[in-house]
Amino acid sequence: LFVPDFIKHLTARTDFLEFNMIPVLIIELIIAALGEEIAWRAFFQKKISKILPFVPALIISSALFSICHFNQGNSIVVIYDLLFVFINAIFYGIIFKKTDNAFISTIAHFLANLFGTVAIMFL
């Protein structure tokens, strides 16, 4: 029922993406995923994991990652968006933990962003 509002919310949160320029879009998605993985998993999650066990460190870093993706809008849509980002961040954090390689988690992050962007373009 709230898909149109959710799509509008996502496009507002990702207004730097230009759907009509696919090569530039792909480069933007790669740079965004790489930067976020280096900052949030390779740095932040790794630092917290030195102080706390892995699971609390993963939850804290994923929650903060989600909060950084906050954008105003319909509360249900915003909560759904933040929950979806949180779940994805959990997956990226697990991938990073298992591989200890930010490039591998970047590939997962990029593919998820690309899939989401393509899905929005066709909705």
Residue 59, SS3 per DSSP:
helix
The average pLDDT across 113-119 equals 81
pLDDT in tens, 15-62: 555 556 777 778 888 999 999 999 999 999 999 999 999 999 999 999
Does the pLDDT value for residue 99 go beyond 60? yes
> Does the predicted TM-score (pTM) go above 0.85?
no
Nearest to 32 by CA among 43, 51, 17: 17
Nearest to 73 by CA among 65, 81, 85: 81
Nearest to 72 by CA among 8, 121, 1: 8
